[in-house]
Amino acid sequence: MRIGSAVDGRSLSLDPAYSSLLGAEFNAVTTENAMKWRNLEPLPGVYAWPGADQLIEFAERHGQAVYGHTLVWHSDVPTWVSPDWPAERLRTELRDHVTEVVSRYRGRVWAWDVVNEVLDEDGSLRETLFLRKLGRRYIADAFRWAHAADPGARLFINDYGIEGRTRKADALLKLVKELRREGVPVDGVGFQSHIAWDQPPRDLTGNLRRFADVGVSVAITELDVRVELPTTPEKLERQAAVYRQVLRSCLTVPACVSFTVWGFTDARSWIPGYHRGYGAACLFDGNLAPKPAHQALIDELGRHAGTDRASPTTN
Ligand code: XIL
């Protein structure tokens, strides 16, 4: 089972305490931003690889698996990609981007988020530049291009708001079934899992199972549990219970192949910048001291290891 964290590139290069904790606590890593299109190709044809390279080298030195995030995301398109281009130009640029990035890291990235957040809350395909210009086939194309560039990588479709049995989750299940019926190489579904401390998803286990039942892997890809500030010991206990619940669901479903938190320290989390009034979403506090959620995960992993020993045939 891969237990990973998203990694902040600056901290990785500048903060030895951050990197040593990352190396010690996790056996997988995801680039938080370094592999997004805008960062990788700031100008047309000009690639900025060092951030992504650095993380991959770190992971390899520490025996960690690398999860690539993300190839196609409406929210991270370089500014030089023009909405006025003819469709064919956009398609070519997108294809070249996917091909260039996936082939560069061929054999070194075990899984890719090929498309990120392609659905709207109501379950329809999200209105993006890609959908508008290229139609729904851009999704299948992206998977095929990625597969051609690295046939060994596991290819995921990743989204938020699908942890419980929402309309969006229903729509994603339908989309995944359709894509697989058409022979599109979709191997897995990523459940981002950005959760609020007082709103744990309902029936995550059952939901993971119904995806597993269509033959794909599932993964928790971006878990954090944000707390309304100020924190109190009670809130941190409830947060710990949510972390534990999500890990337990993943451990319960054999198709759940990886469990990743979206950053491990409150010092470097995206939450305060994006969710007003919330913070303290991670396993370690701002001084890198473990919080109750960290202990909860250790306990849960220990319990699971105990179960495995008792019945070696499970999983
Ligand atoms: C976020 C990063 O954490 C931020 O640093 C960045 O400014 C914006 O993106 N869903 C995703 C992630 O798939 O890529 C987002 O990451 C968080 C929401």
- Which domain range does residue 85 map to? 2-310
The number of domains in the chain is 1
Q: Is the distance from the beta carbon of residue 32 to the nearest atom of ligand 1 less than 6 Å? A: yes
Position 36 in a domain: yes
Position 7 in a domain: yes
Task: Let me know if 121 is a catalytic residue.
Answer: no
The string of pLDDT tens digits covering residues 35-64 is 999 999 999 999 999 999 999 999 999 999
Q: Please check the confidence at residue 205 and state whether its pLDDT lies above 70.
A: yes
**Which CATH number belongs to the domain containing residue 294 in this structure?**
3.20.20.80
The per-residue pLDDT for 69 is 98
Residue nearest to atom 7 of ligand 1 (CA): 270
pTM to 2 decimal places? 0.97
Position 283 in a domain: yes
Mean pLDDT of the chain: 96
Position 45 in a domain: yes
| Residue 227, helix vs strand vs coil | strand
Task: Let me know if 222 is a catalytic residue.
Answer: yes
Position 293 in a domain: yes
Q: What's the gap in Å between 223 CA and the centre of ligand 1?
A: 12
Burial class (CB in 10 A: 0-12, 13-18, 19+), 48: middle
> Distances from the Cα of 182 to the Cαs of 155, 177, 185, 211, in angstroms?
15, 9, 9, 17
Q: Is the distance from the beta carbon of residue 5 to the nearest atom of ligand 1 less than 6 Å? A: no
Position 132 in a domain: yes
Residue nearest to atom 4 of ligand 1 (CA): 270
Which of 32, 117, 163, 300 is the catalytic position? 117
Q: Is the distance from the beta carbon of residue 270 to the nearest atom of ligand 1 less than 6 Å? A: yes
Position 315 in a domain: no
Banded pLDDT at 306 (limits 50, 70, 90): confident
Q: What's the gap in Å between 268 CA and the centre of ligand 1?
A: 12
What is the Cα–Cα distance from 263 to 271, expressed in whole angstroms? 10
